[in-house]
Amino acid sequence: MRYFTPEEANAALEQVRPLAERMVTHRQKMLAAQAREEELNARVAGNGGHIDPGEPASATEAVETEAKAIAACIDEIHAVGAQVKDIDTGLLDFPWLRDGEEVLLCWHVGEDEIRYWHGVDDGFGGRTPL
């Protein structure tokens, strides 16, 4: 595990911010594809409802494609040393040794820099300003 200082974590945002933003976008696309897949499956279970035979397979493929894209973003974020905590919001944590105690620097998509930290067991609700 890599530990970051607040300065190092903010510098790492240059690399992980676009990955987190893509992860959130792929998640939104995956949710839409899953909803479409469920809708098509329900119609097929009824009577088919004038569905093109390739549509259900296409919807399933879209879900799988987006899931793979999310996984790729997560792998790249982890390679930098950050931890993905929520794929819907792009919430990331960066391990930090603060006065010898392991805590987490906290950031999510939409924030311009890392301004918060929390204890390992506290989570997002325990965010404290730096």
What does the pLDDT look like over 75-125, one tens digit per residue?
Answer: 999 999 999 999 999 999 999 999 999 999 999 999 999 999 999 999 889
DSSP letters spanning 86-125: ETTTTEEEEEEEETTEEEEEEEETT-SS--EEEETTT-GG
Is residue 43, in this structure, part of any structural domain at all?
Answer: yes
Q: Domain span at residue 125?
A: 6-129
User: Residue 49 carries which side chain, given as an amino acid letter?
Assistant: G
Is residue 60, in this structure, part of any structural domain at all?
Answer: yes
H/E run at residue 77: helix 55-80
Q: What does each C-alpha distance from 74 to 21, 36, 82, 83, 100 come to in angstroms? A: 11, 25, 9, 8, 28
Total-model pTM: 0.89
Q: How far apart are CA 95 and CA 9, in angstroms?
A: 9
Q: How far apart are CA 84 and CA 74, in angstroms?
A: 7
Instruction: For residue 20, give both structure tokens.
Output: 């987190």
Local confidence band at 50 (pLDDT 50, 70, 90 cut-offs): confident
Is residue 75, in this structure, part of any structural domain at all?
Answer: yes
Is residue 100, in this structure, part of any structural domain at all?
Answer: yes
Is residue 1, in this structure, part of any structural domain at all?
Answer: no
How many domains does one find in the chain? 1
Phi, psi for 84 (deg, rounded to 5): -85, 125
Is residue 92, in this structure, part of any structural domain at all?
Answer: yes
